[in-house]
Structure formats: structure tokens, C-alpha cells
A and B are shown apart, each in its own frame.
Chain A
Amino acid sequence: MEHIRTPKVEQVKLLDRFSNKSVIGTLHLTATHLIFVESNSTSAQEIWILHHHIASMEKLSLTTSGCPLLIQCRNFRLVHFVIPRERDCHDIYSSLLRLLRPVSYDELYAFSYNPKQNDQQREEGWQLIDLAAEFERMGVPCDQWQLTDVNREYKRLPPNICIGLVKSVLPHLLCFYNVLQGGKCLYLFVSCLQAAVCRCSQPLSGFSARCLEDEHMLQAISKANHNSRYIYVMDTRPKLNALANRAAGKGYENEDNYSNIRFQFVGIENIHVMRGSLQKLLEVVGTRSLSMTDYLVGLENSGWLRHIKAIMDAAIFLAKAVTVEGASVLVHCSDGWDRTAQVCALGSLLMDPYYRTIKGFMVLIEKDWISFGHKFADRCDQLDPDQKEVSPIFTQFLECVWQLTEQFPQAFEFSEWFLIQIHEHVHSCQFGNFLGNSQRQREVLQLKERTYSLWAHLLSEKQNYMNPVYSPSFAESHPVLEPSTQACHFKFWRNMYHQYDRSMHPRQSILKQVLTFKESNRELEGTVQALKTKLQKFGVSTSPLKPQTPPRDQEAREDAPASTDGERTVEGSSATENGYGELTGSFGSKNEPAVVTLEFGVARMTC
């Protein structure tokens, strides 16, 4: 609190990003949030911005109406305040500057956040997603593969956990392997074809170095799979990058030294290119009165969708190698925690329907991203930022999943709101899951004792993230997803990158509407049951209602069904807000107060 110089500033103007609209309100600064409360009592919009979400701030030059302060958030919110007095603006600015640069992990919101749960609830929350149970689901360990705790002390390797397996007869098996040499850390997916997906970092080959143990290791993996005589080695980097790494004593596998490998470059760019790409994208879509030409040219120049497609292509290659050829695949990039995580996680999602459920998706993230040491703290700029380490690697993964949900609307148990909410909390530092860079660091921080788990929070709100048209039987007909990779099927994810720009969204949401219907169906089924029970008391036998979906909740409800018509408000819809054109001069435009109802799950702030 000692950093807050001005806790409250009145008469602050909030400018809309894309139109000429503005509202007046009061700005509050707390230890965790920056809060804007609109003065207009009828609409009284509130904006809560978590300090951790602020990516950058800019004080623009003084204008007649005050001092403008531009705040860009990591969840793609951009707010433009005009503070009447320069001094207040400076105070807010410098207070925030200190608040959004926490020096130690202890300062992160997760350590002060308390959802009013006791210790037992907290513990239960952390146990919801259990990797040990996940191995059990996959039938590991078994006669062919065993777990190893060689990395128990996190000493031998970059901080990762490690478990080794070699073969399983069970379908859809995911596991970890660890070799001592070359910093390899393997992770296996063994399908019913007994093919395995392994992950590691680049070999320290340089121009000529060899490591016999490493070569034997690969051979062992290859031999464990009787279906295929060869093993694919996917280097997810562009060839040029891999070659450049050679000079630093790293590099890629030499096909002459490894027997029966098929080496393949995939060409996903590195974290710096991705960071630049997102920056360009946001710059383009943040332009006011953007023309269609500038938008499409900007989209192309940013390269963003090209990168998304490259990741998807790599994951499809992986899935095909395993499911069609029955071959094992070893995936690596440079460090093995960025591109490798993207490709392995997405590949698993394509191959195993379990990961397309809400819980399965949490397991996938926990396993492929968190436990394998994706450097969330660095990539998401949690602490003491080195801007060169920041990169939207995880965001890209979420977007790839979204692209899949667009092509396969029935394959996923969750909707895009789930993905957006996860994205929100990866950056919020409100829950412990994503803090730190590695498993070791998380243990040191005692996250499980001192913070809460996001997964418990999300599961408690599961209803909001459901995909109403999800069909569990889809998994049976499509165990492996085969998305189209034609460029025209990749779309700009407006609901992510413009999640706070309500004026760009459809004014009525099909998703929300169908969810309401689904919820209403559940309640009505209960009502029917209750009415039948009552009728039976009168000795009337009723014909059983054939539920087309199995009733999940048999709890009798007496009350009338909630309004099934749902909300059909046309939200935030006004002509002036859309800025169609230039009606000026003697014909002044009238502004109409637009009621902006923040749609649940999209623009909601948990606090």
C-alpha cells in the first residue's frame, strides 16, 4: 500500500478505443486493482484492471482536457483515460509503475488472493488435477515402460520431472522419459499402434559431436515400436535456425549417426519472431477506422496466422505419423519447452478425445505445459521482466485449439469462453498454477500451500464454459481429428484479441442463447419429474417422457422454469458507436447512452 500515492481521482474521462464516445467516472487505485467507476448512475459501468494484467503504460502529452494515460493490458484490453490534473496523472502513473513491477514472487496477487476457502478446500482444489492419476488412466507404468525418479532433486536436468517408459499395449498412453545425456527429456504418447511421441531439447551435437547413449536411447524407442522400422525426428525449427545453433555447440541429429531415423524440419519460428508478430497484429487491429485493405494487408504482414498454421501443420504431421504410419516420433526444438510444448500438446489433442473435455484439457495443460517447464513466468512477464523472454507461445496454443473448435464444433466439451478465461488467468497471477518457470521453482514457492488452484475455480463455474452442442459420441466417430489446413480455414480470433471491444462483437450470441436453452431444458426436466410425482399421488400414471438427453439433475424443482426466452437485448448497439460516417456540420450527432452489459465469461473480472 505504501506505493499508492493517490488512491482516488475524480472526473476522469474514459475514451472509447474505436469511436468518439467517452464517459466520466472515478478512478480508484488499490493494492491489486485499478478500478474505474462510471459516474452516470443509470449504467454505472465498472472496469477492474488487475495490476498484473497491465503490459505497458504511456503518458501522452498534455491536452486541454487533461493528461491522457494509455494502458495496454495483456488480456488485450486497452484503456485510454484522460485525467484532469497532470499531477494526479503522474501520481497514478508512478504508483502503477511500481505496482506492476513486483520484485518478488511474494508480491504476486496469488499470495494475497483469498476466495474464502479453508485449507482443506484449498488442498482439494489442488488435487483435482492429478498427473499420477493421468498416468494411471494411460496404464503406466507397465511391463514395458517404467517410471524413473532420476530427476527427483531436479539436479541433473533443467528443472523438469521425469518418468521413463518404453512401451505399452494400452491405447492412448502418455508418458515421460528422461535421459541423462544431452539434456533430453522424453515424453511419450503410445497409441494403440504402440507408437510413441517423445519430446526433448536439441542435441549438443555441434558440428561433429556424438553421444552413443543418446543414439542408443533413440534406438530403444524405435525398437519398442514393432509397427515401424523407423522413428521420425521432428525438429520444429526452421532449418536455418538449427544450423545456426550448430555454431554454439548445439544443433540437430545427424542421420548418419542415428540408425533408422527420418529427420524432418517443420519451421516454426522462435519466440522473438512470435512476439514481434503479435505486436504487429495488435497494432493493426487497434487502428481506428481501419479499412478492409489495411486490415487484410496488416493481417498478412503480421504473419500471425501463418505462424498459427505452421504450428497446426506440425501437430497434424505428428498425429499422422503416429496414427497413420504407426511410427514413433521424437519432437524437439531448441530448449524443448516452447515449440515442442505447442506441437506435442496440440498433437495429443488431435489424437486423444480425452483432452477435448474440460478436465482432460486441464490435464493436458498441467502435463505438457506446467510440469514440462514451459517458462510461464518469463513468457508471460510475471516478474522482473526481461522483455526478450516474453512471448505469446501459450496464447498461440490456445488459438490453435480455437481454430479446431471452429472446424469441429461438436468435438470439444468446452467453448471459447473457457480458452479465453484460461488465457486471462495465465496472466492474472491470481492462481498459483502458472507461477514460476519450472516445477522446481513452484515447489520452492510452496504454491500448493500458499495459493489456490485455477482448475478448482474453473470447475466450480463449469456450466459457463460448456459447449452446448458438444457430443461425446463425436469422439467415437472421430478419435483422430483431421482438420483442414487450407489457409482460408484459419480465421482471425476476434473474440480473443478484441474481447473487450464490445462494439465489434455480434450483438446476439448464439453460444449464450443455446446455453440458456440447454440450462432451461435441464430445469424443465426437473419440473416434469416433480409434476409427475405429484400426479402419481393422485393415482395418475403418466407416460414417461423420453428424454433426448439423459437428465443429469433429478432434483425436483417446484418453481416455474426460468425465463426460457433468455435475454434478447441488442447489446451496445447504436449507430453512432459504429461510426459509419461523417454526419457533422449543421447536423450534430446525438449520443445515446449505450448500455454495455459485459457478457459472462468474456469480459468478466474475477476478484
Chain B
Amino acid sequence: TACLPMYLFAEFDDAANLLAANPDATTISIDEPAEIPKKQHGRLQEPGREEDDELLGTDDSDKTELLAGQKKSAPFWTFEYYQTFFDVDTYQVLDRIKGSVFPVPGKNFVRLYIRSNPDLYGPFWICATLVFTIAVSGNLSNFFIHLGKPTYHYVPEFRKVSIAATTIYAYAWLVPLALWGFLMWRNSKVMNIVSYSFLEIVCVYGYSLFIYIPTAILWIIPQKVVRWVLMVFSLCLSGSVLVMTFWPAVRDDNRRIALATVGTIVLLHALLSVGCLAYFFDAPELDFPAPFIPPHNVTTVATRNR
């Protein structure tokens, strides 16, 4: 039985090598010293792996480090597995929202706030709120813009809710999926110090969308300049959260690929906000709420009404 630990150690090494070829979610904090071996923790943990770790006689600090990454050990068909994604308290959610609205330069959102406890509560409900905020604000803004016109008949435009829902949920889930796949692929070529699990990327994207909720409410103001200033401002805030999160993950890579990745992230984010502004909010026809309309504009106004 004395050679049992040696046998298990060798087997663990082989297993680790096998896993290295099969990219799985990896969570590593930047602060930890480099001598902790890089463990690949997939979402589906086999019970055998936990026994290996325990039998190796790892001491407490290693064990807590392992356990922190091995949190999600329930099989994925049980309810408890999904409860681990909702293991947040009210103050934690509020802290994360604050961190996304007031990004501290140089601090990584994931490291500072998520710390290997990504939650799905924030992304899901922030997206739901954003969907209804955009739809309701767009409706209100159109109502106020077209208010005085004689041929205008108010419609609730309920179709736009489903369009908003599809767009925002697709953005908040498919873009992180693509980004995660891309980072995993680059990870297999270039050994990065920092890499994120899929849920952490979803978390960052979800919380970074929070700033658009007050922005959408303020977009009711029917002034083009105000709207564009608001959009640029919110894009800078949430874009900086994303950039500061993902720059450490790609900076060890080829310079051009790193810049292209970060540029694509910001571009997609900008496209989302520009698209929402253009589709849900009608353009204000006058740049100042003038009570009179010059006579030659009356016909153009009438033909533009739906």
C-alpha cells in the first residue's frame, strides 16, 4: 500500500496529459503561485478525480484551491447542479452591478467580483429587464415624438418585445460562447496565464449590459445629440469593463490577434447599442421641440407617418 500513492500520482499525470489535449473549462487566478499544477476542471466532474486528489494527501491550501474550482460537482441532471449557479446574496449582486457601472482602471471585473463564483442570476435578469426597458422606452419615446400630429394613432408595438428579447438574449449568450471557443482555441496554441470559464464570460457580458438600462430610459429624450452622447458614454463604460477583462487573456498572444479580438468585442458591443437605438427609437424629426412647423415640411411629415 506504500506504493499506492506513487501509482495514483503517475496515473493522475497521465490523465492530466490526456485532458490537456481536450480543452475544458479552466479557472486560474492570476495571484496564485505558478507551482500549483494546472488542473483542467470540466463542468462534469468524475468522482474518481476527487478521490485521486484526496489520496494524494494534498494539504489544506491546495485542497481549498482545488475545491474552489471543483464547486460544481453535482451531476448535471440534478437540480442542485443548477443551484450552484444561483449561489449569490443580494449584496453580491449589487456589488457586481456597481463594479460594472464604475469600472476601476486596471482592475479585472472577473477577478475582483466574480472570483470563481459566477452566477446566472445577474445575466438572466439584467437581460430580461433590458428587453422590457428598451421596448417600453422605445414605445414611450415614439409616443412623445409623434404626439401632436393629427394622423398619429398610438399603437403599443408589442411585436418589438419579442424582437428585443431575441436580440439581447442571443447577444448575451452566443457572443460569449463564440468568444469562449475562440479563447480555448488560442489557449491550446499559446499558453496564457489567464483564462476564463464559459460561465465567467457570460457573467461579464451580462453585468456589462446593465449600464444600458438607465441609458435606454434616458433615450426617451427626443434629442439626437443627447442620445448619441449617452450612447458613447455607456459604450465607453461597458466596453472598458469588457476590455479590461479580456485584454489580460489575449495579451500574451500574437499582437495582431490580441488587438483584433479586443476590437471585435468592442465592435459587437457598439453594434448592439447602435442597432437598438436605430430600431426601437424613431429618429426625432426636429432637433428642438418647436411648436410650429414650417409649411413646406407638413407634407413630408404626413407621408412619414405610418
Q: Do these two chains really belong together in a complex?
A: no
B residues lining the A interface (CB < 8 Å): none
